[in-house]
Structure 1
Amino acid sequence: MGDFEGVLRRGEGVPADAVYLPVEDGTFTWGRLPCQANAPVLTVEPGATVVVDTLSHEGLLPDQGSDPLAFFAAHGVAADAVLEEASEVASSGARHADEDGPHVVTGPIAVRGARPGDLLVVDIVDLTPRVPYGVISNRHGRGALPGEMPAGPDNVSVFSRIGRDAQGAWRGWLPARDGGPDAVGFPLAPFLGIMGVATATQGRAHSVPPGPHGGNIDVKELVAGTRLYLPVQVPDALFYAGDPHFAQGDGEVALTALEASLRATVRLEIVPEREALRAFGEIAGPLGETADHLIPTGMDADLDEAMRACVRQAVAILSARYGMDAHLAYAYLSAATDFRISQVVDLVQGVHAMIRTSDFEAVPE
């Protein structure tokens, strides 16, 4: 996580030689994802590094008043600590409140030469908070406890300030009771909930459900220093990013986690189809990679089916990458791999597996 002390405004702190994509008129969609009919807002060569500003939707939505300055002022945030583009997007009319999702999505970025069948590689170089606060919301009856939470008729948006603990580490802070002092602090681990490629459709997909294109996958392990592989759906891939988080627990049970704006630095590369098949087999959806783990994903409206899809993907990857027979890969996954619930709140639910790559380097002579 890059260092931050206050507000990282549009254009501030961007290296002079950087390829930079801010959130401004013409560079974002709100509530919908790019598709093959959309023109790119930026075109880069494979291997390019791009600085991408992302904007949280929290504080912008109708149930929060559609006025970020007023919403955050009610929580003690000064006007000059609210990002300028928050008010611009909130008043843009770019979202249909009853039909579109909530997410502000930056892009799309064309990666020249990417073709369907290839993999787009997204190396997440850096993620830096742009504001020292965030919001956790429970709304729409789509948390893990619909009908129980929220307990009353209104949606709930919980404000969280960001500050250092006694050891100097950044944490999110919450009170134990409304209006009370901060009572619990939890570590930050910023990531982008939405990373994806354009869908091979003429219409833009809703921003909430994830799918083979990526989108709202909410895999919290994809922090700075990790990598995401996305199966390319359309020529030039058309990459986009959004739904920035400061922290999230597995499951994201209340509907959102700690949502707040980030500046992302990403490197975009292409793995040609033939090489991708040798390395991973047939990839049906997003695949994460850290220094220690491969992270296949499974998604479905039914959580049981999402789990099955993730297991199938994990077996296929072990077969392609390490030459394992399917029944032996299945046995290994049962003995040694954690399957985690990515989220249970995005209409299409997600499971991801944590395959420890060091297990395949530990064979004795």
Structure 2
Amino acid sequence: MADTLISVDLAQSPYENENIHNRWHPDIPMAVWVQPGDEFVLETYDWTGGAIQNDDNAADVRDVDLSTVHFLSGPVGVRGAQPGDLLEVELLDIGAKPDSQWGFNGFFSRNNGGGFLTEHFPHAQKSIWDFQGMFTSSRHIPGVNFAGLIHPGLIGCLPDPKLLQEWNRREVDFIATQPDRVPPLANPPCAPTAHMGRLAGAARDKAAAEGARTVPPREHGGNCDIKDLSRGAKVYFPVYVEGAGLSVGDLHFSQGDGEITFCGAIEMAGWVHMRVKLIKDGVAKYGIRNPIFKPSPITPNYKDYLIFEGISVDEQGRQHYLDVHVAYRQACLNAIEYLKKFGYSGAQAYSLLGTAPVQGHISGVVDIPNACATLWLPTEIFDFDINPGAAGPKLEIAGGVDLPIAYDKP
């Protein structure tokens, strides 16, 4: 077994672990160094650093401080890596920590993060999922059981000063266009809750004030939430700083395409076994602007899907021009409404679409004015038949069961 280069103690705050950081900044020191060709293991916290508990109370989701996330393991320095190289990262294996065989999914309050369908689900709710080997089920969403495709939601390399400055410029300028929007358009630097790894003193304070939040995906990779980056996948990252500075976290046991619940997928603490290699001058050789990847050869073996369409006409009947965001929202809402006919609450259905191995597709972007997006729901994950029939839907899920909810404080 490869050496574990970074360990985490789930009983310890991530702020006490010098091999963890929650901002992107070129001055964060490398936590460990490896050689090209080395394989190694990194343990990770869940993305909130243990803020969400395995219980039936959603107050922790409502009250979580989102300026603290994500807690990442790293950076890992790769000897010989120089700006302009490509860092090849092979994900050899991924798993949950033995002392944490469960995960969570949730919706944030509209006033604290929101989400893809926050107008329809404005209050904090959560579901807990228990792991049985490669399968998972939830006491909060009866009638489903499915295989997980474990993957890191967040993985990437450190930016250089120029790229960091560009991120902050464009995102702060964007926020300024609607400064009072709830949820906000983006998340600016936030020094008070920054964890900068081993960086200390005045240098730490300066970097904390500049460090980019880890919430969005960017040119370096970051929080892309690609469910097919599982065991056996390879990712090719642009290198911006000497040593590359690879970090990883936000592990998911399973996720639907789009991670539509935002506190999305089935979030968990775990470990990643990986190997790194270098392609010298690979950025210029291959014209790379964003990472590229080869997906995992392992996927859940579901072959029967019920596919829901959506077009770029919103819930109020307003027409949008080839808007795939609106179209995918409509596909998701259509699937939620369908699942409610079998006894699920809207929140249970929403959570299921964020956690199960649902596929999302952009099916058409040329037929003006409507884009078409589709959501592929695997029928085999259910304990009952969800296909349409002449007899109509049968109420399978007993009423009165729902996700824990926490309303906003007055």
2: CA distance, partners of 1:285 / 1:276: 9
Mapping of 1:286-325 within 5 angstroms? 286-290=291-295
Secondary structure (helix, strand or coil) at the match of 2:213 reads coil
1:110 to 2:83 alignment? no
1:199 corresponds to 2:159: yes
Q: Give the equivalent residue in structure 2 for 1:225.
A: 232
Q: Which runs of 5+ in 2 are unaligned?
A: 10-16, 58-63, 162-206, 299-321, 326-358, 363-372, 374-410
Following the alignment from structure 2 to structure 1, what is the Cα–Cα distance between the partners of residues 135 and 361?
23
Distance 1:305 1:107, change over 3 A: farther
Deviations 1:2-60 (A, max 9, x none): xxxxxxxxxxxxx4x62521136201013x23x21111110111111111001113573
Instruction: Decide whether aligned partners of structure 1 residues 134 and 48 sit closer, same or farther in structure 2, where only a CA change above 3 A counts.
Output: same
2:101 pairs with 1:137: no
Stretches of structure 1 lacking an aligned partner (at least 5 in a row): 1-14, 65-70, 77-95, 165-169, 294-302, 307-337, 342-350, 352-365
- In structure 2, C-alpha distance between the alignment counterparts of 1:237 and 1:46, rounded to whole Å: 11
Q: Deviations over 1:164-190 (max 9, x none)?
A: 6xxxxx32212466xxxx421121000
Deviation of 1:222 (Å): 0.6
Relative contact order higher in (CA < 8 Å, ≥ 6 apart): 2
Instruction: Select the residue among 1, 24, 34 that pairs with 1:44.
Output: 34
The alignment status of 1:186 with 2:186, answered yes or no, reads: no
Q: Report how far residue 97 of structure 1 moved.
A: 3.5
SS at match of 2:242: coil
Partner of residue 161, structure 1 = 130
Q: CA deviation digits over 1:218-240, x for unaligned, max 9?
A: 11111000101111111110000
Percent identity of the aligned residues?
Answer: 27
Check whether the contact 1:101–1:208 (CA below 8 A) recurs between aligned residues.
no
Q: Tell whether the 8 Å contact from 1:120 to 1:237 is kept in structure 2 after alignment.
A: yes
Counterpart of 1:29? 21
What is the aligned counterpart of 1:266 among 264, 274, 286? Answer: 274
CA distance in 1, matches of 2:107, 2:148: 20
Q: Does 1:171 align with 2:135?
A: yes
> Secondary structure of the equivalent of 2:212?
coil
Cα offset for 1:137? 1.1
Aligned residues: CA RMSD = 3.0
Measure the CA separation in 1 of the matches of 2:91 and 2:155: 11
SS in 1 for 2:5: strand
- What is the CA distance between 1:160 and its match in structure 2? 1.0
Q: 1:276 to 1:250 in 2, by over 3 A?
A: same
Secondary structure in 1 aligned to 2:244?
coil
The CA distance in 2 between the partners of 1:158 and 1:176, in whole Å, is: 6
Supply the distance in 2 between the matched residues of 1:205 and 1:260 (Cα, whole angstroms): 23
Task: Report the TM-score, using the length of structure 2 for normalisation.
Answer: 0.54
Instruction: Give a deviation string over 1:68-100, Cα, whole Å, max 9, x none.
Output: xxx33x359xxxxxxxxxxxxxxxxxxx936x2
Contact 1:23–1:54 (8 Å) recurs in 2: yes
SS of the residue 1:247 aligns to: coil
